[in-house]
Amino acid sequence: MTSDAATLTSDAATLGKSNQEQAVAAWVNYLNQLRLENLLSALNRQDVNLLDALASLHDAMRRIDLEVVAANRGGVKGMHGFIAEVAEVGLGNARSQILGNVPVYQWVNDNGPVDLMRGGVEIQQKFVAAGGRFGLGAIAEHLEKYPDFVENGGKYQIPRDHFEVIRKLHAMPREDAGKLLTLGGDGPSLKDWNRIHAFFDEGSVGIESLEPSHLEYSEVQKGAYSATLETEEGSLRSTDQSLRGDAYQESRPTLREGTKATLAAAAIEGGTAVVLALVERRRAGKHLRDFTGGDWADIAGEGGFGVAKGGVRGFSIYWLTNFTATSAAVASSIVTAAFGVAEQANKLRRGEIDELEFIENAELVCLETAVSALSSCVGQALIPVPVLGAVIGNTVGIIMYKTVSSSLSQREASLIAQYVGEQRALDEQLAAEYGELIEKLDARMSDYLGLLERAFSPDLEVALLGSVELALDLGVASEEVLDSDEKVLAYFLD
């Protein structure tokens, strides 16, 4: 294989590996983006759900105010029944809509045998406390007028608190009923038990034909319905916040998804390593049938190392993209750079390269991974197709980088060689000049030290002469130097 062919093969392998790395990063980023998009979509839907639910509740309040209370519909004894009908519709629909479902109730409002419709089921409400029979007497009267109501699938709806008492007493054995209160009190009595069992024993209506309202009897009275619906609004808002919290929790990164990303990255990188190892041996002229056990062992080893690296890459990218402000392309480049620098560090430890080569190679690894990250980001932005945009961007960016770097390499090498030669000549020149200066400095220091020695000699005459020499050497004007008896006398006597 020629040198150019080997270079092309190496570049192709490097590009393929780089594309595989950025593909893994883009895939992890796609998983993250899906979760975020699902969260935003859920929050947007919940905005609509809340508005619809509150609209149903507010419409019920308005209709009660105008069509029931203001119109005095039902009078003093019957008004609460109409309030209950409208409130049940508004509240039931609101509770369905806050969950994203369609309204379930329709108010018939025709004073006929049916008060409400719910998914095709006819409902007759009986909010009656008179007679102490929890509305069962009113149900019996309705059945007398409309004997086929239950047979046609109709339901009787009574206050929630009334239904709970009926259900409890209906299921209570006779021996336990004897322990109930026989006279007044806060709880149900034996008389209540007898009335309820007498009603159902008659056989016209089974307990399965009864259902509880969302509301209790006291909550639909004229002076209480406003507070009831206001409380329900608060409950709807609380449910809304809970649903939003659930949507957020579902959008958070999970160990399960991180494990999937790790395993997928490990499989992809391991597979890529095996393929590249096979291609390298085939390009060397070796056929598969000629592979030895050692060849397969080497290929398996490279595949295993690729699996390990891929696992680290997948986990690291997932962690960096979800728990730090790092894009997937940059996260992949950080991991790739870490692997590359670690490889150069091992070469340095083994003595294959020196410290300068280690620094240069590490810088080159980081530069190439930065180019890969930038190219992938640009490609994904220009081609918003998951994974594909990142791979295309990385391919174009790496090819452009390799082309530019190779085209500039000869000129750069020439410039560097010229610069090195100029620096070497300058070093030689400066070294010679430095040597001359040192020699002059040594000679000058020797003369200066001699002057100091004479100027501070214990011999007074030598010291005087030495002081004169020192002053002249330091630049004192000769007329100011006291080098004669006349100058000395003039200086001290004038």
What the block records as the tokens of 94 is 């609101």
- The predicted pLDDT at position 134 comes to 87
Long-range contacts of 297-305 (CB under 8 A, 24+ apart): 299/274, 300/274, 302/273, 302/274, 302/276, 302/277, 303/270, 303/271, 303/273, 303/274, 303/277, 304/270, 305/273
- The predicted pLDDT at position 162 comes to 93
pLDDT digits (tens, 9 = 90+) for 146-196: 999 999 999 999 999 999 999 999 999 888 887 776 545 567 888 888 888
- The predicted pLDDT at position 376 comes to 47
Q: Which of 204, 213, 206 is nearest to 115 (CA)?
A: 213
Find the length of the chain: 494
CA distance 156 to 209: 6
Sign of the torsion angle spanned by Cα atoms 323, 327, 329, 333: negative
pLDDT digits (tens, 9 = 90+) for 325-380: 555 555 555 556 655 656 666 777 777 777 677 666 666 666 556 555 544 444 44
Domain end among 399, 415, 431: 415
Q: Do 215 and 285 lie in a common domain?
A: no
- The predicted pLDDT at position 391 comes to 38
Low-confidence ranges of the chain (pLDDT < 50): 1-13, 15-16, 183, 374-408
Q: Do 158 and 229 lie in a common domain?
A: yes
- The predicted pLDDT at position 421 comes to 73
155-158: strand order across its sheet: 105-107, 116-118, 121-125, 155-158, 210-212
Domain end among 365, 383, 415: 415
3 state DSSP class of 455 = helix
Q: What are phi and psi of 354, to 5 degrees?
A: -95, 180
Q: Do 79 and 224 lie in a common domain?
A: yes
CA distance 490 to 481: 12
Q: Can you say how many angstroms the Cα of residue 427 is from the centroid of all Cα atoms in its chain?
A: 57
- The predicted pLDDT at position 98 comes to 95
Q: Do 338 and 463 lie in a common domain?
A: no
Q: Do 119 and 133 lie in a common domain?
A: yes
Q: Which of 304, 294, 303 is nearest to 274 (CA)?
A: 303
Q: Do 296 and 177 lie in a common domain?
A: no
| Structural domains in the chain (count) | 3
Domain end among 248, 269, 294: 248
- The predicted pLDDT at position 251 comes to 74
For residue 125, what is the enclosing H or E element?
strand 121-125
Q: Do 143 and 214 lie in a common domain?
A: yes
Range of the domain at 369: 3-37+253-415
Q: Which of 18, 5, 1 is nearest to 272 (CA)?
A: 18
Q: Do 134 and 27 lie in a common domain?
A: no
Distances (CA, A) of 92 to 54, 104, 300: 12, 7, 64
Q: Do 54 and 152 lie in a common domain?
A: yes
Q: Do 31 and 48 lie in a common domain?
A: no
User: Please, are residues 214 and 23 in contact by the beta-carbon 8 Å criterion?
Assistant: no
